[in-house]
Homo-oligomer: A and B are copies of this chain.
Amino acid sequence: MNLDLVLKKLDESQEYAEKRLFELLQFKSISTDPKYKKDCYKAAEWLNKQLIEIGFSSSLKRTNGNPMVLAHNDQETADFLFYGHYDVQPVDPESLWLTNPFEPVIEQTENGSVIRARGAADDKGQLMTFVEACRAIKAVEGKLPCKISLLFEGEEETSSPSLIPFLEGHKDELKSRYALVCDTGMWDPETPSITSSLRGMLSEEIAIRGPNRDLHSGLFGGAVPNPLQIMSKLIAGLHLNDGRVNIPNFYQGVEKTSSDLLRQWEKLQFSEKEFLKNLGLSQSVGETFFSTLEKLWSRPTCEINGLWGGYINEGFKTVIPSEAYAKISFRLVGNQDPEKIRKEFRNKLRQELPADFDITFSDHKGSRATQFSVDSRIMSEAKEALTDEWEREAVFVGGGGSIPIVKHFREILNTDTLLVGFSLNDDQIHSPNEKYNVRSFHKGARSWVRILQRLSRLL
C-alpha cells in the first residue's frame, strides 16, 4: 500500500468526509426510545449505501429490533471484523443543549475545531474514521490490503438485545482473525491509546409499590408508608460510608490490579485535581485507599442512573404516591459474575423491603469485564501505527465503560478485539453538547490506514 498517497488522499478529501459524517449525524437514531425506530432504520440504510458506494458487498440484516449493517470486501473468512454502532443516547435534558443535537455544526473552540452533535463521538464519528480509511485506500489502491468485514449495530445504547442471536446466527459470515472496534478514547488530546481492559455491566430497573393508590398526604400522612421514603432508604443502603458497595459477596471475583499495570498507570501522570476540576468538583469520593484511575478502570461500582416517583411537574401536589422507581447499574471487573450479583442485589432489596410492599425487577442485560494481553503482535503493531501518526508514544489504558461486544466476540466468534478510539475526555458522551474533535476524526481515519497497513503485513 502506498501509505503516503492514501494519507494525502484523506487530507485532500477531509471536507467531503465531514459532509458525510454530518449526514449520518442528522438521523435521530435514539435506540432507547421506540418512537425513533424509523430514524434508526434510516441511519442503517444510509450506512449500507455508503459501504456499497465504497465497493463493499453490504446489506441490512433484519433483527427483532433495529437492523444490522453487514458488509464484506471478500467472500472468504475476513482477516478483520470492524464493529461500530449507529444508535445514540437520548438527548435529555434537551434544554441544556446550546445547539440542536441533530443539526451538527463545526465550532471553533480554544482546543481547536469540534463537531457538535449527539453521536458525534459515540459512536458515529468514530465508526466513520474506519469507513473513511477504507474509502481512501480503495480510492488510491483500488482494493483493500486485507479481507475486511464491517458490522454496524443499532442497539448498543440499549444493551444490544439482538446482538447475541445475530452473532450466533451468522457465525460463519462473521468469522475473522481479529476484531477492531472504534468506540474508546485517547489518554489525552496528544496521546493515542489502546484500551486493554473494560469493565463489565449489570443494570436493573426496580419498582416498589406500597399503598394501593396515590393518597393525599394531609389525609393519610403519618399513618401510611411512603414509597419515596422507602426507596430512598433502599438506595442509601446500597453503599457503605467508605464508598464500598453494600451487597453480599459483591467483591467476589474482584482481583488486585497487577503492580505492573499500576506502574504503567502511574507513568500516565494523571492529575486527579484536573480531572475533578473539569467536572466542577474538588474532593475525591468513592472507595477509600484507591487512586482515581483504579476506581475508574479496575474497581466495580454501583450507580443510580434514574430515580422517580410522586409529583414531579411544576407546582406542588401533596401526594403520597403508591409507587416509586429506580434504574441502577453496576460496573464489574475481574471475574465478577453479573448473574450472581443480580441475585444478591435482588435478595438484599427483598429482605430490606418493609411489610406491605411489593418489588418488581426488570431485567436488563449483564456482561462480564474483559482483559487483553498487551504482549501480542497485533497489539504492538497497532501501538506502533498510532505512535507514528500522533508522534507520541501510544499507551495501554483501562476502560471504565463496558463494550459488551468484546465479550461476545470472544465467546461466540472466538475472536479477540483491538480497541482503538479517538474520543477525548471532554467529548461529553451521553451528556448534552456532545462533540468530537475534527482532529480526532481526521487523524483517526489516518490512524486506521496506518493500522491496516501494519496489520496486513502480519497476515
Contact = CB atoms under 8 A, between A and B. Distances in A.
Contact of A314 (B32, B211, B237, B355): B32
B306 A310 contact: yes
Tell me the dominant secondary structure on chain A's binding face.
loop
Interface stretch (A8-16, A76-84, A106-114, A297-305): A297-305
Nearest to A282: B356
Contacts of A308: 307-309, 312
Nearest to A227: B304
The 6 A-B residue pairs with the shortest CB-CB distance, nearest first, are: A218-B401, A212-B280, A32-B315, A232-B235, A228-B304, A306-B310
Contacts of A92: 311, 313
Interface of A: 31-34, 89-90, 92-93, 96, 157-159, 199, 201, 203, 205, 210-226, 228-229, 231-233, 235-239, 275-276, 279-287, 292, 295-296, 299-301, 303-321, 324-327, 329, 331, 354-356, 364, 399-402, 428-432
A45 to B, nearest CB: 22
A432 B213 contact: yes
A43 B226 CA distance: 33
Given A34-B314, A211-B281, A236-B236, A305 B319 contact: yes
Given A316-B364, A317-B90, A432-B214, A229 B235 contact: yes
A431 B216 contact: yes
- The residue in A158, A224, A299 that gathers the most chain B C-beta atoms within 10 A of its C-beta is A224
Contact of A232 (B32, B210, B307): B307
A430 B223 contact: no
Contact of A222 (B282, B301, B321, B428): B301
A222 B304 contact: no
Contacts of A399: 218
A373 to B, nearest CB: 23
Contacts of A32: 313-317
Given A215-B431, A305-B320, 12 more contacts: A217-B301, A221-B301, A222-B287, A222-B299, A223-B295, A228-B307, A229-B304, A232-B232, A306-B309, A306-B319, A307-B310, A316-B327
A304 B428 CA distance: 33
Contacts of A306: 228, 309-312, 317, 319
